[in-house]
């Protein structure tokens, strides 16, 4: 690891921190230390980083804005990568939005609305990064990334750079090919339509009001815990099972929205994982439905 760190610093492959607690970088406020946390500010830095990680045989993970991820209490072996600078910026070009993989998906939807562009209103309540949204084909309110994405620039694990079209990404519900073929989205290009600014703002205000009333956004959480099974809503199943308020250690099923698990202040990753297992077991027993976690696990769990 010391030789890798020296090589990364010599190559100017980003800002390198060692043994960095990831609880400071996740919305759940949970997670042990990363062996190495690399923050890259442009594509060239990321390419050099990936080439060196590949050469050293070092495993890696990319961490967006820290939502939708559960980091192990033991931390993460290898490298964790964050995108900043040019890779966390956005610009408009003739109805297209070019957004860095590290850019806030919520902020992107707000900027689009101010430009009078419609199609991103659904993203106003999705607290992750643009890259994470592409990776998960994030969606809400009847729409998702697959409906508006034109193409994405991806840096592969050996440092090669490719541009993938919407068809290349093989989107389906909460899924893209990035979940099978490792790569990091450095830029996503979205094709939007002209719209009425007042109507866009009105729709987004309605969505925001609903979120504030129905989701525990003032507490440490990671967004929705489970995907909606076909023909069902995960939150309704969990509530029907009487699991609102159910706790394991410092992790609790929100009494406001049953598909959110909150950190009451002392939750560990194991608490959250045990609560997820309890919920899944109860839902199968009562309704015969298997819930699939939407949250990504990072690091080794017991």
Per-residue pLDDT tens digits for 248-285: 999 999 999 999 999 999 999 999 999 999 999 999 99
- Per-residue pLDDT at 22 exceeds 80: yes
The residue-averaged pLDDT of 279-294 equals 97
What is the pLDDT at residue 157? Answer: 96
Task: Work out the angle at residue 62's Cα, subtended by the Cα atoms of residues 56 and 65, and round it to the nearest 5 degrees.
Answer: 155
Query: Can you state the angle between helices 197-214 and 105-114, rounded to 10 degrees?
Result: 150
- Per-residue pLDDT at 181 exceeds 90: yes
Query: When comparing pLDDT for 142 and 73, which is higher?
Result: 73
Q: CA 131, CA 133: separation in Å to the nearest integer?
A: 5
What is the pLDDT at residue 214? Answer: 83
CATH class of 89-200: alpha beta
Q: Spell out the domain ranges in the chain.
A: 2-85, 89-200, 216-298
Counting DSSP H helices and E strands in the chain, the numbers are: 7, 18
Are 102 and 82 in contact by the 8 Å Cβ rule? The answer is yes
Confidence of residue 211 (pLDDT cuts 50, 70, 90): confident
Q: Count other C-beta atoms under 10 Å from residue 52's C-beta.
A: 20
134-168 pLDDT per residue, tens: 999 998 888 999 999 999 999 999 999 999 999 99
- Per-residue pLDDT at 236 exceeds 80: yes
CA 20 and chain centroid, separation: 20
Q: CA 233, CA 237: separation in Å to the nearest integer?
A: 6
- Per-residue pLDDT at 126 exceeds 90: no
Q: CA 234, CA 258: separation in Å to the nearest integer?
A: 8
- Per-residue pLDDT at 95 exceeds 80: no
DSSP 39: E
Q: CA 302, CA 300: separation in Å to the nearest integer?
A: 7
3-state secondary structure of 52: helix
Q: What is the CATH number of domain 2-85?
A: 3.30.43.10
What is the pLDDT at residue 127? Answer: 84
Task: Work out the angle at residue 125's Cα, subtended by the Cα atoms of residues 119 and 130, and round it to the nearest 5 degrees.
Answer: 65
Q: What is the CATH number of domain 216-298?
A: 3.90.78.10
The answer to whether the predicted template modeling score (pTM) of the entire model surpasses 0.95 is no
Least confident of 9-13, 173-177, 206-210, 275-279: 206-210
Q: CA 192, CA 111: separation in Å to the nearest integer?
A: 12
Are 103 and 112 in contact by the 8 Å Cβ rule? The answer is no
N residues, the chain: 302
What is the pLDDT at residue 103? Answer: 97
Confidence of residue 237 (pLDDT cuts 50, 70, 90): very high
| Tokens read off for 242 | 């009487």
3-state secondary structure of 87: helix
Which residues belong to the active site? 174, 224, 294
Are 68 and 223 in contact by the 8 Å Cβ rule? The answer is yes
48-64 pLDDT per residue, tens: 999 999 999 999 999 99
Query: Can you state the angle between helices 43-56 and 2-10, rounded to 10 degrees?
Result: 150
Q: Residue 235 is inside which H or E element, if any?
A: helix 234-240
- Per-residue pLDDT at 205 exceeds 80: yes
What is the pLDDT at residue 212? Answer: 81
Task: Work out the angle at residue 82's Cα, subtended by the Cα atoms of residues 106 and 266, and round it to the nearest 5 degrees.
Answer: 80
């Amino acid at each position: 690891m010391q030789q890798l760190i020296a090589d990364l610093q010599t190559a100017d492959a980003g800002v390198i921190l060692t043994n960095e607690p990831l609880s400071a970088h996740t919305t759940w406020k949970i997670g042990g230390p990363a062996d190495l946390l690399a923050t890259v500010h442009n594509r060239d830095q990321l390419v050099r980083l990936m080439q060196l990680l590949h050469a050293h045989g070092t495993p890696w993970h990319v961490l967006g804005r820290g939502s939708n991820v559960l980091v192990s209490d033991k931390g993460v072996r290898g490298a964790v990568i964050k995108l900043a600078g040019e890779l966390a910026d956005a610009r408009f070009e003739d109805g297209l939005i070019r957004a860095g993989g590290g850019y806030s998906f919520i902020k992107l939807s707000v900027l689009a609305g101010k430009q009078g562009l419609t199609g991103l209103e659904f993203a106003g309540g999705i607290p992750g990064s643009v890259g994470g949204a592409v990776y998960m084909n994030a969606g809400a309110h009847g729409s998702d990334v697959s409906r508006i994405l034109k193409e994405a620039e991806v840096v592969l694990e050996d440092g090669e750079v490719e541009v993938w079209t919407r068809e290349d990404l093989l989107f389906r519900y909460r899924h893209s090919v990035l979940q099978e073929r490792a790569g990091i989205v450095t830029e996503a290009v979205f094709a939007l339509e002209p719209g009425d600014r007042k109507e866009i703002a009105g729709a987004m205000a309605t969505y925001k009001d609903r979120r504030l009333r129905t989701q525990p956004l003032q507490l440490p959480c990671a967004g929705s815990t489970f995907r909606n099974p076909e023909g069902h809503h995960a939150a309704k199943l969990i509530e029907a099972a009487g699991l609102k308020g159910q706790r394991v250690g410092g992790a609790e099923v929100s009494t406001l929205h049953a598909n959110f698990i909150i950190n009451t202040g002392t939750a560990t990753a194991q608490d959250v994982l045990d609560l997820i297992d309890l919920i899944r077991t109860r839902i199968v027993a009562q309704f015969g439905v298997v819930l699939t976690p939407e949250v990504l696990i990072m690091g080794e769990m017991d």
